[in-house]
Structure 1
Amino acid sequence: MSYDLLFTGGRVLDPGSGRDAVLDVAVSGGRIAAVAAGLPREAAREVVDVAGRLVTPGLVDLHTHVHPGATYWGIEPDPVAWCSGVTTWVDAGSAGAYALPALRRAIGGYQVRVPVLLNISAVGLTGRTGESRDLAHCDTDLAVATVAAHRDLVVGIKARIDAETVGPHGLEPLRRALAVARACELPLMVHIGAAPPTVGELLPLLRAGDVVTHCASGIALGRGGLDPALRRAYDAGVLFDLGHGSGGFAFDVLEAQLAAGMPPHTVSTDLHGRSLHGPVFDLPTTMAKLLAAGLTLAQVVAAATVAPARALALAAGTGTLAEGVPADLAVFAVEPGPFPVADVHGRRRTAPLRLRNEATYLAGRLLPPRLPAPPPPWIPLTAAQRTALAARDRRIRDLLTTPLVTPDDLADQFPRPPDR
Structure 2
Amino acid sequence: MWDLLLHGGRVIDPASGRDGPADVAVRDGKVAAVAAGLPRSQAARALDVSGHLVLPGLIDTHTHVGHGAGYWGLDPEPVAWRTGVTTWVDAGSAGAYTLAALHRNVAAPSPLRIHAMLNVAGTGLVGRTGEHHVLENLDVDTSAAVAAEHADLVRGVKARIDRHTVGPHGLEPLRRARLLADRLAKPLMVHIGYGPPDLADVAPLLKEGDILTHCATGVGTGLVADGRATDTLLRLRDAGVLFDLGHGSGAFAFDVLEAELAAGITPIVSTDLHLRSVYGPAYDLPTVMGKAMAAGLSLADTVAAVTVRPARALGLSSGTLAVGSDADIAVFEAEAGAFPAVDVHGGVREAPLRLTNTATYVAGRRLPPRAAEPPPVWVPLSAAQQRAEADRQARVRTSVRRLERPEDFDEPFPRPERTATGGAR
**TM-score, normalised by the number of residues in structure 2:** 0.95
Q: CA deviation at 1:407?
A: 3.4
Shift of residue 45 of structure 1? Answer: 0.2
Partner of 1:70: 69
| Contact 2:195–2:221 (CA under 8 A) maintained in structure 1 | no
Tell whether 2:125 aligns with 1:122.
Answer: no
What amino acid does structure 2 have at the position aligned with 1:68?
H
1:247 matched residue in structure 2: 250
Quote the Cα distance in structure 2 between the aligned partners of 1:196 and 1:328.
41
2:418 & 2:376 partners in 1: Cα distance?
Answer: 57
Counterpart of 1:52? 51
- The letter of the residue matching 2:274 is H
Q: Deviations over 1:5-35 (max 9, x none)?
A: 0000100000011000100000000000000
Deviations 1:120-161, CA, capped at 9 Å, x for gaps? 000000000000011101100001001111111111110000
User: 1:111 deviation in Å?
Assistant: 2.1
Counterpart for residue 332 of structure 2: 332
Corresponding residue number in structure 2 for 1:104:
103
2:226 is aligned with 1:227: no
Question: How far apart are 1:396 and its partner, in Å?
Answer: 1.6
- Is the CA contact (8 Å cut-off) linking 1:221 and 1:227 kept in structure 2? no
State the Cα deviation string for residues 358-393 of structure 1 (Å, max 9, x = none): 000000000000000111111111111111111121
Q: Distance in 2 between matches of 1:67 and 1:263?
A: 28
Q: Say which SS state the counterpart of residue 3 (structure 2) adopts.
A: strand
Cα 1:135–1:285 change in 2 (3 A) is: same
Counterpart of 1:165?
Answer: 165
Superposition map of 1:403-418 within 5 A: 403=402, 406-410=405-409, 411=411, 413=413
1:84-99 correspondence runs (5 A) = 84-99=83-98
Q: Deviations over 1:142-188 (max 9, x none)?
A: 01001111111111110000000001111111111111111111111
Question: Which one of 290, 299, 302 corresponds to residue 300 of structure 1?
Answer: 302
1:255-310 deviation per Cα after TM superposition (whole angstroms, max 9, x unaligned)? 1111222221x100000011001010000000001111111100000000110011
Distance 2:326 2:404 in 1: 37
Query: Hey, what does 1:27 align to over in structure 2?
Result: 26
The number of residues matched between the two structures is: 415
Q: Is the 8 A contact 1:200 1:227 kept in 2?
A: no
Q: 8 Å contact 1:77–1:110 — kept in the other structure?
A: no
| Deviation by residue 1:29-75 (Cα, 9 ceiling, x = unmatched) | 00000000111110000001000000000000000000121110011
Counterpart of 2:271, as a letter, is T
Residue 236 of structure 1 pairs with residue 235 of structure 2: no
CA RMSD of aligned residues (A): 1.5
Secondary structure of 2:62's match? strand
Instruction: Give 1:313's match in structure 2, choosing from 315, 318, 322.
Output: 315
Relative to structure 1, is the Cα distance of residues 409 and 188 closer, same or farther in structure 2, using a 3 angstrom cutoff? Answer: same
Check whether the contact 2:219–2:251 (CA below 8 A) recurs between aligned residues.
yes
Amino acid at match of 1:334: A
Residue equivalent to 1:153: 153
Aligned with residue 261 of structure 1, among 244, 247, 264: 264
Structure 1 residues 418 and 390: alpha-carbon distance in aligned structure 2, compared to 1, 3 A threshold = closer
- State the match for 1:353 in structure 2: 353
User: Contact 1:200–1:228 at 8 Å: present in 2 too?
Assistant: no
Superimposed CA distance per residue, residues 174-212 of structure 1 (whole angstroms, 9 cap, x where no aligned partner): 111111111111111110011111101101211100000
The unaligned stretches of length 5 or more in structure 2 are: 421-425
Identity percentage over the alignment? 58
AA of the residue aligned to 1:273: L
CA apart distance, 1:354? 1.2
C-alpha distance in 1 between matches for 2:212 and 2:197: 14
Preserved CA contact (<8 Å) 1:204 1:229: no
Counterpart of 2:251, as a letter, is G
* Aligned pairs for 1:166-245 within 5 A: 166-221=166-221, 224=225, 226-245=229-248
Closer/same/farther in 2, CA of residues 112 and 406 from structure 1, 3 Å limit: farther
DSSP-derived class of the 2:229 partner? coil
1:4, CA displacement in angstroms?
Answer: 0.4
Relative to the length of structure 1, the TM-score reads: 0.96
Q: Which one of the candidate residues 278, 288, 291 is aligned to 2:290?
A: 288
Matched, 1:274 2:295: no
Tell me which amino acid in the other structure corresponds to 1:298.
A
**Which moves more between the two structures, 391-400 or 235-244?**
391-400
Long gaps (5+) in structure 1: none
Deviation, structure 1 residue 413: 2.8
